Amino acid sequence: SPEASAVKVKLYATGSDSESGAAVLGTYNLKKNSSTGMWSVTVNGDLKNIYYTYLVTVNGTTNETQDVYSKATGVNGNRSMVVDLDSTDPDGWDSDNHVLFNNAQEAVVWEVHVRDFSISDTSGVSDDNKGKYLAFTEGGTKINSDTSASSVSTAADYLVKSGINCVQLMPVYDFGSVDETITGSATNRNWGYDPVNYNVPEGSYSSNPYDGNVRITEFKQMIQALHDRGISVVMDVVYNHTYSTDSCFQKTVPNYYYRLNRAGKFSNGSGCGNECATERAMYRNYVIQSCLYWVNEYHVDGFRYDLMGIMDVETMNQIRDALDQVDNRVTMWGEAWTGGDSYHPTNTCDGTKFIPAIQSNAGSLSERIGIFNDSVRDAIKGGAMSIANTGFVQGSKGAAKGISFGLFANSNGNYKWKAKAPSQSVTYADCHDNAALYDQLVASTVSGDYGNRYEDLVKMNKMAGAIVNTSQGISFMLAGQEMARTKYGDTNSYKSSPEINKINWNNILEYQDLVSYYKGLYEIRKNFTPFTAMDKSYSSAYTLNKSMGSAFSNQVAFTVKNDQPDEWQTMAVIHNSAKKAEEVKLKDESCTEWVIIANDKTAGLKKLGEVSGSTFTVPAISTVIAVDKASFDKLA
Ligand code: CA
């Protein structure tokens, strides 16, 4: 804090005054090093688990604040804690390893909120762990805790059995919108896109938010349990804004960490009241160090950057470089847009031009920083801004164009935006924002009755999954897309009730064929390299039935050649969103003997039938996937 005139550190026995044993243990003056500008003091003694704040006097006022660089805090994050990180490690932590993919596109990403994952009684998770980090550590969980032999696995076991290999956790850093002192309240919940302490786990998901050690240990146990099951863990990070400007950043160095507009007011590119200045040296450095910390201390395997368009390209690329020093397989992707008008400075701290990390600047971003492909999302199920919009799977012919570009992860030609390579695109149909896929299908076709299964909606859902998983790019979905999860039409459920947000694990019985269809799609994807190649090496191996720029149709069909000797050599994918079966003749007729591996009912590695010639009969609202018979027989 170079502008501060005085800084003191205040030591406390507890993380808040409301706890027993609360006491002030002392206050010490820090001294400023005139050459580095750094304030410091040495306090002798065993200070492990002691809580502390800083008293920063700047511009004539003294603010009490937690440490910007907190690694542990007390309840609600108001006081920092001196932590011995090694002592927080759970048993076996030394042998816990990252779960990383050689190609980011090998990930099947399942985006979930910690509370939604287990809060329902159907989860089979013990009552103590429902809604907590530790829910992810439970094995042997069954629907409704029914232990009979025929019952179905839930929670972490379900992920393994259904072929999901990557969990993206919605905010798990310490956020401000949930009061950690209140337990058992249905209204005290939030997605958590409101950071308070970036390097501390959220307390409300721990079994004891008062003891700064507990949340750290339990967070590590969660990661360890997922890694033990071969599941990669991506963390949602929100460096673009903070809960409020009454923050440790503002109290420590006023008006440094936030962008101010020309009128001297906090700029609001996040739509949440402020935006952080990644172009400034000490915030850029902060963000880079924070990402490294989560990777090294918590073994996090990747990051999802909220409103990445507020951040600058140079900062994002420097994060990529820093993570590459640890392991270049650590994944990065983000939302290459803002939540409102962002006030951009002309230059960054190193004198270079400020370039926002938005879609139109993809060419300046590393090709290993993924960008959410909202154009394919909207093409699949209809524009996300209205739940009544229809896309390709509901029969919108105009959406075929977006599907065609999405096949190449928007890396082959410019449709709304252009990725440098397939690795730079996240292919998806839904996420936590806007309507869940199932809800948009309901609202746009059968007027708002969310209560029951509809055959056509299941077919549309299957086709959405087939489009995502036979496209290049990183396959991503909201948790439960594969079991027709509903939020009852709620398109912004950030603080809605558990009844709306919970994963209802009964759906895996109700929609058993859907879950197994998705599993089959992941297997097909995993066994066909062109879908997961990082670069554009396979783009010339595709033959589309219609030219991408002029497609207006209920059918999108393509063949793709593979040069991997131990895989299928040719694959045909035909999506038919018409309400009746259609004959589709492939443009590429070089293969004339086919084995069908996906149809309107099932998908996977098994033979479902054979076709001679290059004309396929594709059932109503379905995808047919076929591979050349010669290589199928050879590999079978
Ligand atoms: Ca919190």
The partner residues of 303 in beta bridges, in order of sequence, read 235, 332
The pLDDT value given to residue 621: 96
pLDDT band at 452; cut points 50, 70, 90? low
CA of 113 to the centre of ligand 1 (A): 15
Q: How many C-beta atoms surround the C-beta of residue 364 within 10 A?
A: 16
CA of 181 to the centre of ligand 1 (A): 10
Going by C-alpha positions, the residue among 428, 416, 429 that lies closest to residue 389 is: 429
Query: Burial level of 620, CB count in 10 A (0-12/13-18/19+)?
Result: middle
CA of 209 to the centre of ligand 1 (A): 9
pLDDT band at 448; cut points 50, 70, 90? low
The mean per-residue pLDDT over the stretch 405-414 comes to 96
Cα dihedral 161, 162, 164, 167 sign: negative
3-class DSSP assignment, residue 143: helix
pLDDT, the chain, mean: 96
The mean per-residue pLDDT over the stretch 424-429 comes to 98
pLDDT band at 184; cut points 50, 70, 90? confident
The mean per-residue pLDDT over the stretch 49-54 comes to 98
3-class DSSP assignment, residue 355: coil
Q: What is the DSSP string of 25-52?
A: EEEEE-EE-TTT--EE----S--TT-EE
pLDDT band at 147; cut points 50, 70, 90? confident
CB within 5 A of ion ligand 1: which residues? 174, 202-203
Q: Give catalytic residue positions.
A: 306, 335
> Could you give the count of Cα atoms lying within 13 Å of 455 in the half-sphere of its Cβ?
5
Going by C-alpha positions, the residue among 299, 169, 294 that lies closest to residue 221 is: 299
CA of 192 to the centre of ligand 1 (A): 8
The pLDDT value given to residue 149: 77
pLDDT tens digits for 186-207? 789 999 999 999 999 999 999 9
Q: Which of 157-161, 447-451, 454-458, 542-546 has the lowest mean pLDDT?
A: 447-451
pLDDT tens digits for 247-278? 999 999 999 999 999 899 999 999 999 999 99
CA of 205 to the centre of ligand 1 (A): 9
**pTM of the predicted model, to two decimals?**
0.97
The pLDDT value given to residue 148: 86
Q: What's phi and psi for 347, nearest 5 deg?
A: -130, 160
CA of 372 to the centre of ligand 1 (A): 27
CA of 176 to the centre of ligand 1 (A): 5
3-class DSSP assignment, residue 331: strand
> Cα(344)–Cα(315) distance, rounded to whole angstroms?
14
How does strand 31-32 pair with strand 39-40? antiparallel
The CA distances from residue 46 to 42, 63, 513, in Å, are: 12, 27, 59
pLDDT at residue 360 is higher than 70:
yes
Residues 238 and 202: beta-carbon distance below 8 Å: no
CA of 356 to the centre of ligand 1 (A): 29
The mean per-residue pLDDT over the stretch 427-440 comes to 97
The pLDDT value given to residue 344: 85
